Chain A
């Protein structure tokens, strides 16, 4: 594959810096980040390479593979980076750019819709059955009362996440499985 560098393409790096990856230019490509990354050897998510691609403006190369969504956000790279370039923050920023372009994993849309409609990342009905089974006290969290869910909905309605995470007004939870929570 032929890659044409366009050093005038500062659009991506500017956005990344605006969205939280403020220190991306500090990276000097030492590779410490990738050496402790739990997904580096099994996936296409190569954090050291991504850091460089951002400053080179290679947006397509990053976005096409969707690999930024395979980061577990373990913060090992951020912890160990000798330049404090905050690679995990760069991943978050890239995800924000990706979401703006409409690319976001289905599972995250599911989690977000659960939270919007149930107050929680997982289904509440099954939870209450399990609580009864182990004699847990009455649930008092957001999922226990519609008035708290209304509150959360009002908050989400006033942010970009409402459209970015494709919140649906009529939503039936798809499964009782825990899809994601952190």
Chain B
């Protein structure tokens, strides 16, 4: 099996709030011929709500520092969060083409002994799985087929848009995550406004907890329309929004309790990897789903 190596950029939410998702990525990818290596010292991407919203150069510098770590490893970077992907890829595109900005960034990076060179590519995990590894290989890697189980796939904004920079998907008709979910046997169901926002990003979850829940509720109403057995995403912030947000809505007396999975968690379970490392942490219960369809406690 051809093996490819990547620098794994984990961000903040996965390593520090959902490390079971991190385990699921670390354990599934090598089984598909994609080895992932730690980016030692990598910091926050940084987020659009704070740094990018006040000063472009401070966003660029922190992003460029992260990219420079992967450059030093001589490996392409794989982001496992939509927000990280969007800002790191944007930075990479911008600095590769804009000499003036690149020089400005490097003058400051030089003070900490780092340099942005523009020698690597930034990918989203979905691109690695779909474009580099391929659906066939994933189909062949699973032990259990979840035939007939219905999944509501949520892409999340920053995997799709702005599409002329990210170029990961067709922004109006994305299909990669659907295809990956269907490779596990599940049916990816239609629901209205599938490409709309979960309501977490841009600082919203912190800036206005009321509005964030309102937008999520609308999203969930649309999802419920298709009566899925689970929600699947490949972004930890969307995951968190669905997981904690449904709990928030339940506390207000609403009836939302759809199990949520990060894609590699489902993939790992389908490969027969132990649940107690890869699918443990959630506020919206999933154990019933896992027991019913995977037969494990």
Contact = CB atoms under 8 A, between A and B. Distances in A.
Interface of A: 19-20, 36, 38-39, 42-43, 69-76, 78-79, 88, 92, 95-96, 99, 104-105, 107-112, 115, 119-124, 126-128, 130-131, 133-137, 139-145, 147-149, 151-152, 154-156, 158-161, 164-165, 178-182
Given A107-B203, A126-B17, A165-B51, 9 more contacts: A39-B211, A43-B208, A76-B196, A99-B54, A131-B16, A135-B23, A159-B108, A164-B55, A181-B44
The SS class assigned to the B binding surface is: helix
Nearest to B16: A127
A76 B206 contact: no
A70 B114 CA distance: 35
A130 B82 CA distance: 22
B30 interface: no
Contacts of B46: 115, 121
A166 to B, nearest CB: 10
Interface stretch (B154-162, B177-185, B223-231, B251-259): B154-162
Contacts of A147: 41
Interface string B196-223: 1101111111111001001100100000
Interface of B: 10-13, 15-20, 22-23, 26, 38-58, 61-62, 65, 81-84, 86-87, 108-109, 111-112, 114, 157-158, 160-163, 171, 195-197, 199-208, 211, 214-215, 218, 237, 240, 244, 276-277, 280-281
A105 B281 contact: no
Contact of A108 (B10, B41, B53, B112): B53
B294 to A, nearest CB: 17
Given A38-B215, A180-B206, A130 B201 contact: no
A108 to B, nearest CB: 4
Contacts of A152: 43, 62, 65
Given A107-B206, A161-B54, A182 B201 contact: yes
Contact of B202 (A73, A115, A123, A161): A73
A134 B50 contact: no
A156 to B, nearest CB: 6
Nearest to A20: B56
Contacts of B65: 151-152, 155
5 contacts: A73-B202, A107-B203, A111-B50, A115-B44, A154-B112
Given A107-B203, A119-B43, A120-B44, A70 B281 contact: no
A180 B50 contact: yes
A148 B202 contact: no
10 shortest A-B CB distances, which residue pairs?
A182-B83, A127-B16, A107-B206, A73-B202, A75-B161, A142-B43, A161-B58, A179-B206, A159-B58, A136-B19
A43 B218 CA distance: 14
A141 B197 contact: no
A78 B237 CA distance: 21
Contacts of A107: 49, 203, 206-207
Contact of B81 (A111, A154, A156, A182): A182
Nearest to B40: A140
B197 A130 contact: no
Nearest to A41: B218
Contact of B22 (A76, A121, A136, A179): A136
A35 to B, nearest CB: 12
Nearest to A162: B58
Contact of A76 (B38, B111, B157, B204): B157
A130 B281 contact: yes
A154 B199 contact: no
Contact of B211 (A36, A42, A110, A135): A42
A37 B49 CA distance: 17
Contact of B163 (A42, A79, A145, A165): A79
B49 A140 contact: no
Nearest to A121: B12
Contacts of B218: 38
Query: Which of B26, B38, B53, B114 has the most chain A CB atoms closer than 10 A to its own CB?
Result: B53
A63 to B, nearest CB: 14
A92 B7 CA distance: 30
